[in-house]
Amino acid sequence: MTEEFNEEFNVDAFINQLKKDKSKEAPSGNTLNKVFMNRKNYQGNVTFIPFISKSIGNIYTKLEGVREWYDTTSVLEGGEAWYRILPIKFYKGITPEQIELYNEVVSLFDACNETGKYGYEGLGQDAILKVRNFSLFTGICTAHVDTEGGKVEDNIDKPCLFCFPSNSPIDALESYISGLADTYGNKVKNYIQKFITPANKGRQGVIQIAFRKSASPGYASSVTFLKNDEFKIHVDPDKEFPAEIVSLFDDPISKFLGWMYDYDNKTYFNETVFVELRNNLKAALIDEPESTEESKGENKNGNQDPMAKPPIPSVDAPEENKEQPKEQPKGFKPPF
């Protein structure tokens, strides 16, 4: 006869464990597609219906000096991912202890950057350390053509967060708007509102951004507003976009952070992930070999702050780093 099991089931512990084990990303269905425009097959011309983010109050978000580190993580099933550290101003309401943790992680990251071992200088296009600027645009993709003129169908008619690893799309938008002001004068605001509006109906045009690697380091961008006319209807003015779609654009930064976002506490600062990143960076510094006599006599960075001129934001190494990269110190390769 088996022994009777009398211990009560701990429901509280069961519920807490479920919360820990649930998927960190939003469930499938209506979701905001994250489109990283540094991918070679995504570069070209992307056309979209712009939507204003409620948390930003704009169709774009500017992120400067984003520190990136590719490493292992226990948070994702895949076990490897890009960690992204935003400027501290984006982490609202964090505690003094979390600020101390943030500063420690940034200090360790900068120390790894100074070694020259993990970025483009040491690994070329397989770099696992980057510092980049991002322009995030929110909208529904209506057309996408690559640099060779081929159609890219991945995100057509889907709500997207277009992640450009450069400030150049924002600069191009400002330049285009300035040109409109020269053309339309005092009526330029009325013209812009035909394209950029909080309305979910009555759209009269779309925005097209051309984005590609430039001949010089970095990226080249241009912006065009395409208005409905007798020859081409870019967006159906009678189409009404449902609230559940429009709401997807409310918080683009949380989508940009993705797996690093703390979904349980609804905050950009995920303390668990930052602790893990801190430990990874410490391990990378421990693995750093002692300087040779030759390297001691050569200061590659001089007195320059390594964060002042971040590595070129690209899936490719800069032209000066096109030689065969040095042996990678870790046992994995970042996707881009």
**pLDDT of 228-245, one tens digit each?**
999 999 999 999 999 999
Specify if 195 maps to a domain.
Answer: yes
Q: pLDDT at position 322, please? A: 38
Evaluate if residue 332 carries a pLDDT over 50: yes
pLDDT above 70 covers a percentage of the chain that reads 79
Q: pLDDT at position 202, please? A: 93
Q: pLDDT at position 288, please? A: 59
Evaluate if residue 88 carries a pLDDT over 60: yes
Specify if 203 maps to a domain.
Answer: yes
Is-contact 62 170, C-beta < 8 A?
A: yes
- pLDDT-derived band at 282 (thresholds 50, 70, 90) equals very high
Long-range residue pairs from 298-305, CB within 8 A, at least 24 positions apart, any chain: 300/116, 300/121, 301/114, 301/116
Query: Which range has the worst mean pLDDT, 5-14, 30-39, 68-77, 296-305?
Result: 296-305
Q: pLDDT at position 47, please? A: 98
Q: pLDDT at position 30, please? A: 75
Q: pLDDT at position 83, please? A: 98
- pLDDT-derived band at 8 (thresholds 50, 70, 90) equals confident
Residue type for 26, please? A
Q: pLDDT at position 336, please? A: 65
Residue 40 to residues 172, 207, 330: CA-CA distances in angstroms? 20, 21, 25
Cα–Cα distance for residue pair 5/36, rounded to 1 Å: 54
Specify if 271 maps to a domain.
Answer: yes
Evaluate if residue 21 carries a pLDDT over 90: no
Evaluate if residue 209 carries a pLDDT over 80: yes
Specify if 23 maps to a domain.
Answer: no
Specify if 159 maps to a domain.
Answer: yes
The mean predicted confidence, pLDDT, of the chain is: 85
Specify if 328 maps to a domain.
Answer: no
Evaluate if residue 283 carries a pLDDT over 70: yes
Largest CA distance in the chain: 92
CA dihedral for 213, 214, 217, 223, sign (positive or negative): negative
Specify if 334 maps to a domain.
Answer: no
Q: Pick from 83-92, 284-293, 305-314 the range whose average pLDDT is largest.
A: 83-92
pLDDT above 90 covers a percentage of the chain that reads 72
Specify if 49 maps to a domain.
Answer: yes
pTM: 0.78
Give me the domain span that covers residue 246: 29-293+301-321
Other Cβ atoms less than 10 A from the Cβ of 107: the count is 12
Higher pLDDT, 289 or 297: 289
Instruction: Give residues with Cβ within 8 angstroms of 277, minimum separation 6.
Output: 69, 71, 83, 85, 105
CA dihedral 119, 171, 32, 75 (to 10 degrees): 20
What's the number of domains the chain is made of?
A: 1
Higher pLDDT, 34 or 320: 34
Nearest to 286 by CA among 326, 329, 328: 329
Quick one: tokens of 298?
């050569």
